[in-house]
Structure formats: C-alpha cells, structure tokens
Amino acid sequence: MTDLTIIGTGNMARGLAARAVAAGRSVQLLAHEDKAKADSLAAELDGKITTGVLGEQLTGALVIPAVYFDASRAIVEQYGDALTGKVYVDITNPVDFATFDSLSVPADSSAAEELQKATGAKVVKAFNTTFAATLSDGTVAGHPLDVLIAGDDAAATQAVVEFASAAGLNPVVVGPQRRARQLEHMGFLHILLSANEELPAYQWNSALKVVPAA
Ligand SMILES: NC(=O)c1ccc[n+]([C@@H]2O[C@H](COP(=O)([O-])OP(=O)(O)OC[C@H]3O[C@@H](n4cnc5c(N)ncnc54)[C@H](OP(=O)(O)O)[C@@H]3O)[C@@H](O)[C@H]2O)c1
C-alpha cells in the first residue's frame, strides 16, 4: 500500500507529487501509457515513489487522477469496483475548450458530482484552484497556497485536509461536495485571468486565496 496514487505525469501530477514528497508521503505514480514518464518524474523528485502504468492495481488510499475530466471519467469506468471505498480526489476544471466560455458540465452539477454518480469511491473536490507551477514549492509571494476542499464524506474530506496540511499548504473545507460547482467556476475564472495576456501578473503562477480577518 502507498499513501497516494497519482495518475498521470503532466503538470499537476508533477506538482502534487512534489507536495507529497515534501509531506513524506509514499506515492504510486501511474503513467498514462509510457512507464518511462513516471520513472523519469520519480527520479527527479527523489521520494518514496513507485511507478507503473494506468490499469495496474491501485495501492493508494487517496487516488488523485491528475488528468482532464474526460480521462477521469474513463478511469472511473476502467477501475469500476476497485475504486469503491477509496478517497478519490477530483482536481479537474471541466472547461469547455470549444468555446472557452463555460464549463462542460450541467449548470446544476459539477465534475465532482458527475464522477460521484459513476463511482463507489468517496469523491472529494480539491486542488482545482491551485495552479500546477505553484505546487512545486507550495507558496505564492510567501503565502502558502489555499487548498479549497468540498466533500460529503467527513473522513475522506479529512484525509485530504491532512495531506494538504502535511504538504505545507492551507486546507480550507468550503462545504459539501456540491460546493464543487462554485470551486470549478473559481478555477475557470483563475484560468481566464491567466489566459489574458493583458494581465501579466496572472500568468499561471498566481494563487486564489481567502484572506482570513485575523
Ligand atoms: N495545470 C494546472 O495548473 C491545473 C490546475 C488545477 C487543475 N488542473 C486540472 O488538472 C488536470 C490535469 O491538468 P495538467 O495541466 O496536469 O494536464 P497535462 O499536463 O496535460 O497532463 C495530463 C496527463 O493526463 C494524461 N492522460 C491523457 N489522456 C489520458 C487518458 N485517456 N487516460 C489517462 N491519462 C491520460 C497525460 O499522459 P500522456 O501525456 O502520457 O498521454 C498526462 O500525464 C486537468 O483536469 C486540469 O483541469 C490543472
């Protein structure tokens, strides 16, 4: 068993694996198809990381598919009952890339809720509002990243809180799983800021933070 399974070897997989290593957590890193990509990332990060490819048995108590929403749906279908009881961390921003003007999920739902309909895993929304580049050291302008978290299962939500906290980040539980709707729109807004070349201070390296009163 490992603490986490991270699926994918792209930008978010790299950032999340870096935070997991910083937290001293063990990671199963599954590449999409090419194990060499997982081996290469594991060698770079130098932590407790085992590698494999998608389809192998999941060893992590927390499973974090660091892939786009469509691939997440396919992963849920592929693993089926093997996901039941796991904590599934949904990090996706289901942007409709055809229009870049809306999300691809129904207005009265979210990627997290759509995935929950298809799996016996406990789906927790988290990390969709943290940009990959900022996860490498977990701070922006000296501030630890807020990890906004939405979940229905208290133990599963707490497991994500503990991971974020151990990774040096600032977990904030925003409410039940349906709050993922708001988190996904927040994530999309942040993406739109970064995609706007007239805003050079927001180029995929900024952070969304709720500053507490004291
Ligand atoms: N980038 C960010 O700052 C950021 C921030 C918050 C949330 N997110 C969300 O995080 C997710 C990943 O984003 P990213 O920027 O890390 O993307 P990315 O760098 O493009 O990485 C995507 C990963 O998905 C894998 N993949 C592609 N198709 C797949 C499939 N059918 N099944 C399994 N794996 C597949 C790719 O593997 P191969 O390349 O080997 O095919 C790659 O490892 C997205 O849902 C995004 O909305 C991103």
Is any atom of ligand 1 closer than 6 Å to the C-beta of 11?
yes
Report the nearest-CA residue for atom 9 of ligand 1: 92
Q: Per-residue DSSP letters for 65-116?
A: E-S-HHHHHHHHHHHGGGGTTSEEEE----B-TTTTSSBSS-TT--HHHHHH
Residue 49's beta-bridge partner residues? 27
Q: What is the pLDDT of residue 29?
A: 98
Confidence of residue 214 (pLDDT cuts 50, 70, 90): confident
Of 205, 78, 54, nearest to 141 (Cα)?
A: 205
From CA 43, how far away is CA 62, in angstroms rounded? Answer: 22
Instruction: Give the pLDDT confidence score for residue 204 in this predicted structure.
Output: 96
Q: What is the mean pLDDT of the chain?
A: 97
The pLDDT assigned to 137 comes to 93
pLDDT tens digits, 25-58: 999 999 999 999 999 999 999 999 999 999 999 9
CA of 103 to the centre of ligand 1 (A): 17
Report the alpha-carbon angle 184-188-192, nearest 5.
Answer: 170
Which secondary structure element, helix H or strand E, spans residue 19, and what is its range? helix 11-22
**What order of strands is seen across the sheet that includes strand 27-31?**
49-53, 27-31, 2-7, 60-65, 87-90, 122-125, 146-151, 170-175
Nearest CA to ligand 1 atom 37: 32
Distance between Cα 212 and ligand 1 center (Å): 32
Check residue 4 and give its pLDDT: 98
Pairing assessment for the beta strands 122-125 and 146-151 based on DSSP bridges: antiparallel
What are the CA-CA distances from residue 165 to residues 25, 51, 113, 135, 158 (Å)? 12, 25, 25, 13, 10
Three-state SS at 214: coil
Q: Whose CA is nearest to atom 7 of ligand 1?
A: 128
Q: Which residue from 5, 29, 32, 70 has its CB within 8 A of the most atoms of ligand 1, so it is best to mutate?
A: 32
* Per-residue model confidence (pLDDT) at position 38: 98
Smallest CA separation from ligand 1 atom 38, residue: 32
Mean pLDDT to the nearest integer, 179-197:
97
**Residue pLDDT, tens place only, 51-80:** 999 999 999 999 999 999 999 999 999 999
Over range 191-211, report the average pLDDT. 95
